[in-house]
Amino acid sequence: MSLKIAAIREHDASERRVALVPDVAARIKRLGCDVALEAGAGVASSYPDASYKDVSIEADRAALLGSADIVLAVEPPPPELVKAMKPGAILISFVYGRNNPDLVKALRDGKITGFAMEQIPRISRAQAMDALSSQATLAGYYSVLLGAVHMPKILPMMTTAVGSLRAAQVLVMGLGVAGLQALATAHRLGAVTEGYDVRPETRDEAHSLGSKFVETGVNATGQGGYARELTADEKAKVRSVLSDHIARADLIVTTAAVPGRRAPRLIDADQIAKMKQGSVIIDLGAEGGGNCEGTKAGEIVQVGPVTIVGPINLPSCLAEQASELYAKNIFNLLQQIIKDGKLTLDMTDEVIAKTLVTYDGKITSDAIRQVVEGPAVSAAPPPSAPTAKG
């Protein structure tokens, strides 16, 4: 019997993405699998049911989940959905286990093999599976467009019959995937751009995009391609350098994040107060608490002279192509675990081992297990046998 791979409709009405697009569905079928889709799952991302060829469209979610060997989703599904899956099945989605302990418990207790797309290791051969990067690319692009909509001026220099308009100054703070894409987009739109990151190795990447790099003298390169948290002295040094650049900016995009922790604070109230009237901050760290003092997740707020936008789930705003990229990320992972139409999990493979959250009734991620189950308690050593006295 062929493996059945099913994509579900997202449970949150604000999530417009879908985990499977028609082109990828056709590729999965070539792996020797049957493909099913919950009715209407792709409609919000411009993929109507009719666009999926040779795919079973099923309206009964419970029946779909109960028969699927592999379930595909975007956002972490509710525990109730996992409980409807058959034991031994596989879930592939974003999980964020430390923030969703009930979901992890449901995966563990139902003996569901859980793959967390946010845990794809950032190594060369896993780049095609890196969903965080694919989605961050679109978020970085859209952040600049969002900023342009809220600015009372244009980004490029423009010459008119009554004089010239100066180009806007754009500062991007945090030069990961999203930040670099934001820099590239702002530069293409004609702004004067500069970038800042605590990892000095991003300097050359900023320069390659036609942008200046803000030098602070602090190196906070961390593990796994992320920045480490700054010390108090380092924060003070960085602040003194950045304040002038912040004050000159018309648009700032902040993208800094530390996995599993609160988003680092990059801009404080005093710095915001010294910015130009009408300037805009797009805070991509809003969901993690915000890179800016005063950011409110999902809201647009006026703080002194500045409009601060705290967008949530920007990739969903570009749902058609965000879904396309995400579905391709999943397909490339499926190729690692499906061979000749059969499921093959190589636990020695770094990608599989690091992406797994649960397997065979156990939580495989140490960090998530500590949050969900608490730290392991060592067994007390047995009492020593009494010695005979002579």
Query: Which member of 127, 208, 240, 370 is catalytic?
Result: 127
369 given a catalytic annotation: no
Query: Which member of 34, 130, 197, 250 is catalytic?
Result: 130
Looking at the chain, which runs of residues are DSSP E strands?
4-7, 34-38, 56-58, 70-72, 90-93, 113-116, 158-160, 163-165, 169-173, 192-196, 212-213, 251-254, 280-283, 300-303, 306-309, 338-339, 342-343, 356-359, 362-363
Give the C-alpha distances (Å, rounded to integers) separating 224 from 51, 244, 302. 38, 31, 36
122 given a catalytic annotation: yes
Query: Which member of 109, 188, 226, 321 is catalytic?
Result: 226
Query: Which member of 27, 122, 228, 248 is catalytic?
Result: 122
Query: Which member of 45, 119, 133, 169 is catalytic?
Result: 133
What lies within 8 Å, CB to CB, of 378 at 6+ separation is none
226 given a catalytic annotation: yes
54 given a catalytic annotation: no
> Which of the 8 DSSP states describes residue 250?
S
Question: Alpha helix locations (H) across 209-318?
Answer: 232-248, 269-273
Rounded to whole angstroms, how far apart are CA atoms 146 and 149? 5
| Cβ-contact 276, 383 below 8 angstroms | no
181 given a catalytic annotation: no
Active site residues: 122, 127, 130, 133, 226
